[in-house]
Every structure is written in C-alpha cells, then in structure tokens.
Amino acid sequence: MTYKINIKKQAQKFIDKQDKKQQIRIYTAIYNLPNGDIKLLKGYQTKYRLRVGEYRIIFEWVQNEILITVTDADNRGDIYKKY
C-alpha cells in the first residue's frame, strides 16, 4: 500500500538543519514508512516514533487511511520532552 507523506514545517526545519548525509538518511527512512523501527508513543493512539540513528521522528498514522503526517523531529534526548 502506498501512503501519502506530509511533513509539517517544524519537522522540515529540523531536518533541513542537518548535514546532507543525515538529511538523505532521514528522508529515506520517512519515505519508507510504515517500515522501519517504529513504536507507538505511550498515551497516544495514532502517534508513533521512528528511530533513525540518534534522531527521532514523530508521526501520526491512522491505520485505515493512506496519509502519514510527520509532526516533529529532534535528537533522541530532546524529542521526548515534548511528548
């Protein structure tokens, strides 16, 4: 099944600040969703995290829809403080 990927501005800004090699690695992982190292965030029904090395990508995914929305991206130590 093919999913439409929507990346929010906040996540886009973080990814664009990384060096080119990391950007490619992160974008590759995002566009391979829902495959990868993903886990459901505790306390949420549709928010998941994707692990890409030391980075974490937070996204919303409703199982029966074809849309995945990337809402946030940050370093491992900082991302969970927001959730």
One pLDDT digit (tens) per residue for the chain, 83 residues: 788 999 999 999 999 999 999 999 999 999 999 899 999 999 999 999 999 999 999 999 987 888 999 999 999 988 888 77
Task: Identify the CATH number of the domain in which residue 23 sits.
Answer: 3.30.2310.20
Q: Is 48 helix (H, G, I), strand (E, B) or coil?
A: strand
Contact 3, 67 (CB under 8 A): yes
Number of domains in the chain: 1
Task: For residue 16, give its domain range.
Answer: 4-82
Burial of 79 (C-beta count, 10 Å sphere; 0-12/13-18/19+):
middle
Q: What's the pLDDT tens digit per position in 54-71?
A: 999 999 998 788 899 999
56: nearest Cα among 37, 31, 69: 37
Helix axes 9-17, 20-31, angle to 10 degrees: 140
The pTM of this model reads 0.86
